[in-house]
């Protein structure tokens, strides 16, 4: 599990199942990023990504500590964290992706996934 900021962490399914660790790290909620993607081929569902990223932003602004996870935590989870971070901090998607990757080095960059998202509003 890797914290993107003070309130949002990214991790794997195994991280989400480690209840004692979650309690020690004061995690309040768990969000499954797989709900925001098609099954096969795996591509983001833009409306769901935006909705979940906005939800994460509201949770964060209210002090909730949330773990986002998928199976491995290297594709879908960092992607959702990137959209959350870009929206909350007003940075371009690519810059947000770099930040997420700096916190979770195993992150895989998917420029084709970014292409399905609406442009960020300034």
Domain ranges, residue 23:
2-114
The 10s digit of each residue's pLDDT in 49-96 is 999 999 999 999 999 999 999 999 999 999 999 999 999 999 999 999
Residue burial 2-23, b: 16+ Cβ < 10 Å; e: rest: bebeebbbbbbeebbebeeebe
- pLDDT at site 122: 41
In a domain, 122, yes or no: no
In a domain, 86, yes or no: yes
In a domain, 119, yes or no: no
In a domain, 109, yes or no: yes
Token pair listed for 88: 């909350």
- pLDDT at site 121: 54
Interacting residues of 32 by C-beta distance below 8 A, sequence separation 6+: 16, 69, 70
- pLDDT at site 5: 98
């Amino acid at each position: 599990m890797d914290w993107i900021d003070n309130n949002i962490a990214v991790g794997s399914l195994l991280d989400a199942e480690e209840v004692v660790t979650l309690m020690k790290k004061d995690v309040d909620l768990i969000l499954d990023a797989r709900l925001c993607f098609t099954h096969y081929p795996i591509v983001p569902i833009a409306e769901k990504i935006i909705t979940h990223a906005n939800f994460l932003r509201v949770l964060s602004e209210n002090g909730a500590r949330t773990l986002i996870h998928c199976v491995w935590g290297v594709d879908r989870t960092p992607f959702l964290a990137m959209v959350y971070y870009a929206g909350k901090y007003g940075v371009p998607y690519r810059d947000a992706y770099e930040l997420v990757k700096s916190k979770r080095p195993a992150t895989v960059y998917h420029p084709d996934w970014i292409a399905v998202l609406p442009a960020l509003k300034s």
